[in-house]
Chains A and B, each alone.
Chain A
Amino acid sequence: SQQGEEDPQALSIQEGENATMNCSYKTSINNLQWYRQNSGRGLVHLILIRSNEREKHSGRLRVTLDTSKKSSSLLITASRAADTASYFCATGGDTGANSKLTFGKGITLSVRP
């Protein structure tokens, strides 16, 4: 079963605008990760936030985590055409060493030049 559910499914913005993507999940987690996938390529890790963290930054990326609402958001500031890709959230389980990393279905981001 899918743990992470991204919202919206698709997002189209103008270059220079900010893009906000959301992820909700159902059970307790150890961490939440965001990945990017360019068309025809493998996934690339963007950022990991642990369950005891509330906010994390990496370059133009800002991730927040609200464990009480079981949700996360990924903000990409000053978007560029090169940010056009699919974005996935993935949740790391909290029970047992072999709990899986479960991926959502992804958000398609289009940044218009």
Chain B
Amino acid sequence: DAGITQSPRHKVTETGTPVTLRCHQTENHRYMYWYRQDPGHGLRLIHYSYGVKDTDKGEVSDGYSVSRSKTEDFLLTLESATSSQTSVYFCAISESTLRKDTQYFGPGTRLTVL
């Protein structure tokens, strides 16, 4: 497995509470991504980072923010969680330009918002 960990692996929270998910890599890859996976929708890109402090929005970024202060860590924050954000969240990394390169995925975080 690529050196990618996600924490927590499971979380149950209540509507309106803030939630932060962490992705940590030991590969020193430049690009990091956050996806959500939902039945019937496949994987959808939330946000991605192309370097420290360099981030951009993906397909479903509303309600999410990200930060990357170090190469190895990429944080996903739900400022005020809603039930529609119940999902499995995957972090991924790639060495070079996101569209051209293989992506390596973390084990996922299952988030339930009650």
Contacts and interface: CB of A to CB of B under 8 A. Distances in A.
B2 to A, nearest CB: 9
B84 interface: no
A43 B107 CA distance: 8
A42 B99 contact: no
Interface in B78-110: 90, 92, 97-100, 102-108
Contact of B99 (A98, A103, A104): A98
Q: How large is the interface on B (under 10, 10 to 19, 20 to 34, 35 or more residues)?
A: 20 to 34
B74 to A, nearest CB: 15
Contacts of A103: 35, 42-44
Output the residue of A99, A101, A103 with the most chain B CB within 10 A. Answer: A101
A92 B99 contact: yes
Interface string B45-60: 1001010000010110
A98 B56 contact: yes
Interface in A33-89: 33, 35, 40-45, 48, 88
Given A41-B107, A42-B108, A88-B43, A97 B102 contact: no
Interface residues of A, number: 27
Interface string B6-48: 0000000000000000000000000000010000111111001
Shortest beta-carbon contacts, A-B, top 8: A42-B105, A105-B42, A92-B99, A103-B43, A99-B99, A43-B105, A45-B102, A93-B99
Interface of B: 4, 35, 40-45, 48, 50, 56, 58-59, 90, 92, 97-100, 102-108
Interface of A: 2, 30-31, 33, 35, 40-45, 48, 88, 90, 92-94, 97-106
27 contacts: A2-B42, A31-B100, A33-B102, A40-B108, A42-B92, A43-B43, A43-B92, A43-B103, A44-B105, A45-B103, A45-B104, A88-B42, A88-B43, A90-B103, A93-B99, A97-B97, A98-B98, A100-B45, A100-B48, A100-B59, A100-B99, A101-B98, A101-B99, A102-B45, A103-B43, A103-B44, A104-B42
